Structure 1
């Protein structure tokens, strides 16, 4: 559902230029300084603020409060103009905001060249299905999703993907091919994912690495964040030393981690790490 449709207007323009900056409180000031003599306040099911929009010409200048709170000045500004109060489930608004920024990314960023091995989809599908079975609508994070083969497989199996990566060209490829869907996708730093989602039942991190002395600290933060927001996690890497590192990081967080070889894929997902909260 489009953000404009939820607010009952023709067009919205978010003051935050990218999805990744939605937690930044400085954009409250930007919205406070925006013009407008008509406002709309969106509340969630708990009557907490989700968004504020002010009419400016032919569009509505909008700020989202998914990951931050509005200031008293913003609420006062709304109270001083002609306004209406609307209500929507937080999950629906979050999907609409992801859609808004994903569509903008797809329009503005040229996709990288196609990178999907045609055999990968079936091999990965077998791995996920053998690990967890079918999803039946369960939310599953696809961390460092790249161009979206993991999300495609999750959707094949009945999961609801929540996908993210920090590479806009790969995301653009996934969005343009349909492997990634706009309302499921976030352009964010994987080292900060807990700022953008509450914990979900499951998560995958497919072909993480290369983990070496130069990148180890970064990957530890990425894996730790993924563990922090998932009850069960499936991670694949290329080598046994990488798998052992992931096991050590998980056990250091109090999780159980089992590692094993995956003979079905000699190129990509050679070592598999299955983890649960203890």
Structure 2
């Protein structure tokens, strides 16, 4: 019983030692994705009032939901691993232990995984096919990571460092895939006027309003709906879906009327109707 309990606790400890670096690296890369997302509209996060603290505050509910999903999944992974080990009479755990004791095998697996994490970076700058990605992953793994990981396997502190590096590289790789998704989502908003679930998850405000003059409360811009990207330094940053333009207006001369969140769009709706009319 003690050996089984120790095994489960050891497994949880190993999972935690990998998950934490993944989460830290993923959050670190996330702000780069937010910058790229708002760059589609010609602004930066600071101009719409989004800094690290605001981003974390907007994502609190999303982080709670992820935690609620991750905990049962973690329990299922541990349970399945225990079940497989029991069904094989302990052979599965012995096989894993033997692989971990072979420094070249463990280093090679970690190196290939780190090489594969560059897929997100490559997707951001191009669209490599599967064969090219495999070649790049193997090449990077062998040339850049294999020997360092093999040397780190000599001491316990080096093996712990390998876990941190692999976890961090995994988080960075996932982060660049997230950046790609955020940029594509922002382009969809620019064209369709509607945000997807990924943008909502990172705190993007799909908020629309009719802009009015503060002097007489009369609608401006022909009463068209404008997306409120954010506000900072006494200025509203607005996106005109009809003209495909990003505008800035002083808050002191602007009233917001008829505010809507996540408005429903009719099928086939696209932005740029007035922009096409203005094109000679």
TM-score range, shorter chain: under 0.3
* TM-score, scaled relative to structure 1: 0.23
State the TM-score, normalized to the length of structure 2. Answer: 0.23
Greater helix share, structure number? 2
Which has more radius of gyration?
A: 2
Question: Higher RCO, 1 or 2 (CA under 8 Å, sep at least 6)?
Answer: 2
More strand per residue: 1
